[in-house]
Amino acid sequence: MYKFQDNSDLECEDIQVHSDVVNEVTHNMPDDEMLYDLAEFFKVFADSTRIKIIYALSKSELCVCDISEILNVSQSAVSHQLRMLKQMKLVKYRREGKSIFYSLSDEHIEDIFNKGMEHICE
């Protein structure tokens, strides 16, 4: 964790705008709607129960009962979190008889999870 004595460590001593760099970044900046969607995507990772579900699903396809047992939380709590993960397209499901099995929607989700773990373990 970085600690700053005051704001002087965060500000330029001499104000000088580097127009070429500013123009390049501005020109390539994604539109506000895309950045909003990205921020919403990352908010999903801000809940420890959802993170635990993502971890569990990275190891195996699971039903709500399995996830509930692994996390030691109610099935309704798991279902609530899975609903959000489905809305954000992080998990997919398949029906087998009366059971519904969940898995990560693709390898990108596990990659994002693993990159986050690498970052906090540095």
Which residue ranges make up each domain of the chain?
A: 31-121
**Distance (Å, whole) CA 16 – CA 36:** 30
* Chain segment 14-63, per-residue pLDDT in tens: 778 888 999 999 999 999 999 999 999 999 999 999 999 999 999 999 99
Q: In the CATH hierarchy, which fold is given to the domain comprising 31-121?
A: Arc Repressor Mutant, subunit A (1.10.10)
* Chain segment 78-115, per-residue pLDDT in tens: 999 999 999 999 999 999 999 999 999 999 999 999 99
Q: Which of 53, 48, 51 shows the shortest CA–CA distance to 63?
A: 53
